């Protein structure tokens, strides 16, 4: 069992514009207004980079910045785990399209943006962080794999670590082979010990076996959860929004489950919003 404390959350998805604004919807006390994803411009990047950066990078930077601000932690000194089920489909499509054309002349920028760790690179430059980062992929279970790795990092290093998990839709024709519901990103700052910023304690256990996944009450959010790997975080986010002691199961591969025993902490997020 690994125990960790959640200090910060970042969220960006269709109709989900940041953690604070989305809390009522996730807690079941507010109405959900469906809307296309609205990625806030990241002040971390210089203006020209802000325009040029692919959407997946913008999402990663926006949710990362939101989570670190809430945690009141310096991003430059904190290790980050990036998790995505398939990286930047737009950039990959552009490259594959050019490679199938007669002249096959790639753009060098597009090539370096195509790496799975592109968001990690932009994050390190934008936050001036020389801390370690990793970028992993576990197909539909990328959020669970990322959460496990982040929790393991906090336990092994006895230091805070963040998870930044995100997916974007693939364009045609790749979307036929890999349909995703919508772009979605979630970031969590985890610490091995409680601090003034801690909003919940989670005890994580990896167990063999399967459990039916927890469904979201709202059909739109359930559609999102089913259709986008990073949105498999929604049941955890809903529990955090409700501030209820609860146990959430997160399927991991076909034969394991991450059990998350969540206890909200007395210091409510409101107490340190100023």
Partner 1 sequence: MSGEQPLGLGKSPLMLSDFSIVTSLGAGREQTMAALREGRSGLVRCGFDAIPFKTYAGEIAGLDEDSLPDELAGFDCRNNRLAALALRQDGFLDTLAAARARYGAQRIGVFAGTSTSGILQTERAYRQRDPLSGKLPAGFDYARTHNTYSLARFVRDMLGLCGPAFTVSTACAATSKVFANAARMIATGICDAAVIGGADTLCATTLFGFHALDVMADEPCRPFDPGRRGISLGEAAGFVLLERAGERLDAETVLLLGTGESSDAYHMSSPHPEGVGARLAMERALGDAGLEAGEIDYINLHGTATLVGDAAEDCAVAGLFGTGVPCSSTKGFTGHTLGASGVAEAIICALAIRHGFVPGSPHTRGVDPAFRSRYVLSGHDARIDRVVSNSFGFGGVNCSLVLGRAT
Residues near partner 1 (CB under 8 A) are 2, 79, 85-87, 92, 95-97, 99-100, 104-108, 111-118, 120-122, 124-125, 127-139, 142, 145, 148-149, 152-153, 155-159, 172-174, 176-178, 192-193, 206, 208, 252-253, 255-256
Q: Which string of DSSP letters, residue by residue, matches 53-70?
A: S-HHHHHHHHHHHHHHHH
CB nearer to partner 1: pick between 41 and 156: 156
To partner 1, the closest distance from the beta carbon of 264 in angstroms equals 21
Entry field: residues in the chain: 274
CB nearer to partner 1: pick between 23 and 232: 232
To partner 1, the closest distance from the beta carbon of 18 in angstroms equals 26
> Cα(51)–Cα(57) distance, rounded to whole angstroms?
11
CB nearer to partner 1: pick between 140 and 220: 140
CB nearer to partner 1: pick between 131 and 267: 131
To partner 1, the closest distance from the beta carbon of 113 in angstroms equals 7
Q: Which residues pair with 208 in a beta bridge?
A: 256
To partner 1, the closest distance from the beta carbon of 249 in angstroms equals 16
Phi, psi of 134, rounded to the nearest 5 degrees: -135, 160
To partner 1, the closest distance from the beta carbon of 213 in angstroms equals 18
* Structure-block tokens of residue 15: 């109709």
> Cα(4)–Cα(272) distance, rounded to whole angstroms?
20
CB nearer to partner 1: pick between 26 and 147: 147
> Cα(265)–Cα(272) distance, rounded to whole angstroms?
13
Instruction: Give the pairing of strands 161-167 and 79-83.
Output: parallel
Contact 244, 264 (CB under 8 A): yes
> Cα(237)–Cα(25) distance, rounded to whole angstroms?
11
> Cα(206)–Cα(202) distance, rounded to whole angstroms?
13
CB nearer to partner 1: pick between 103 and 270: 103
To partner 1, the closest distance from the beta carbon of 178 in angstroms equals 5
């Amino acid at each position: 069992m690994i125990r960790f404390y959640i200090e910060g959350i970042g969220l960006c998805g269709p109709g989900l514009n940041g953690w604070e604004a989305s809390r009522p919807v996730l807690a079941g006390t507010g109405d959900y207004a469906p809307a296309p994803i609205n990625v806030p411009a990241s002040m971390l990047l210089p203006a020209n980079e802000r325009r040029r950066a692919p959407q997946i990078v913008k999402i990663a930077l926006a949710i990362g910045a939101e989570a670190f601000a809430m945690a009141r932690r310096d991003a430059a000194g904190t290790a980050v785990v990036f998790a995505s089920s398939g990286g930047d489909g737009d950039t990959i499509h552009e490259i594959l399209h050019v490679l199938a054309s007669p002249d096959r002349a790639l753009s060098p920028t597009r090539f370096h943006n195509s790496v799975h760790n592109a968001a990690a690179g932009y994050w390190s430059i934008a936050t001036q962080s020389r801390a370690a980062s990793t970028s992993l992929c576990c197909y539909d279970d990328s959020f669970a794999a990322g959460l496990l790795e982040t929790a393991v990092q906090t336990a092994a290093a006895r230091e805070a670590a963040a998870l930044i998990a995100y997916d974007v839709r693939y364009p045609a024709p790749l979307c036929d082979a890999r349909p995703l519901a919508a772009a979605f990103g979630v970031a969590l700052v985890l610490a091995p010990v409680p601090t003034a910023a801690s909003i919940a304690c989670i005890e994580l256990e990896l167990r063999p076996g399967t459990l039916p996944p927890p469904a979201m009450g709202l059909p739109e959010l359930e559609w999102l959860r089913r259709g986008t790997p990073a949105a498999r975080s929604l049941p955890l986010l809903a529990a955090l929004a409700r501030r209820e002691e609860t146990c959430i199961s997160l399927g991991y591969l076909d034969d394991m489950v991450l059990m998350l025993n969540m206890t909200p902490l007395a210091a409510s997020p409101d107490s340190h919003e100023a």
